[in-house]
Amino acid sequence: MNRDVAGRLLELAQTGLEALEYVQEQTGQGNYEGAISVFTDVLHSFSEIEDVLDSNHIAGVAELASATESLRDGFDWMVKAYEGGKQGDTLDIVQLTLIPRYQRWLEELQKELSSNIEV
């Protein structure tokens, strides 16, 4: 993977973390519609990052794969809470599950990309 692509992936991933923090803020204020819209964008960007990692044969590395699977589970819980109309649960999920798991995934992504950059 070249340095430019890796840098863009990391920027997008960092923006995803900032977006989840915004989702947490909006959910805490009761603005569920705004939070859902941003959350949907986070899911889309995560999917795009995964596609690039898969195409560059990076996604299968053990630590990154584990963090990715854990984050996917957190996303699933959040989606189910939204679908079930359990807005009260969404704040706990984003605070206690999604943000910590996203941070761990981002750390693993940074490690993996830094070791796979072509000069």
Q: Cα separation of 21 and 1, whole Å?
A: 29
The terminus-to-terminus CA distance of the chain in angstroms comes to: 9
Query: What integer pLDDT is reported at residue 71 of this predicted model?
Result: 97
Say what the pLDDT of residue 59 is. Answer: 62
Decide if pLDDT at 114 tops 60: yes
Structural domain of 91: 3-115
Position 119 pLDDT exceeds 60: no
Tokens of 26: 């909006």
The amino acid sitting at 18 is E
Question: At a CB cut-off of 8 Å and minimum separation 6, what does 106 contact?
Answer: 13, 14, 16, 17
Residues 36-58: tens digit of each pLDDT: 999 999 999 999 999 998 888 77
| Count: domains in the chain | 1
1: pLDDT strictly greater than 80: no
Retrieve residue 69's tokens: 């699977």
Q: Can you give the CATH number for the domain in which 51 is found?
A: 1.20.120
Higher pLDDT, 61 or 102: 102
pLDDT at 57: 78
Check if the beta carbon of residue 88 is closer than 8 Å to that of residue 111. no
With beta carbons less than 8 A apart as the criterion, state whether 52 and 43 touch.
Answer: no
pLDDT of 96 above 80: yes
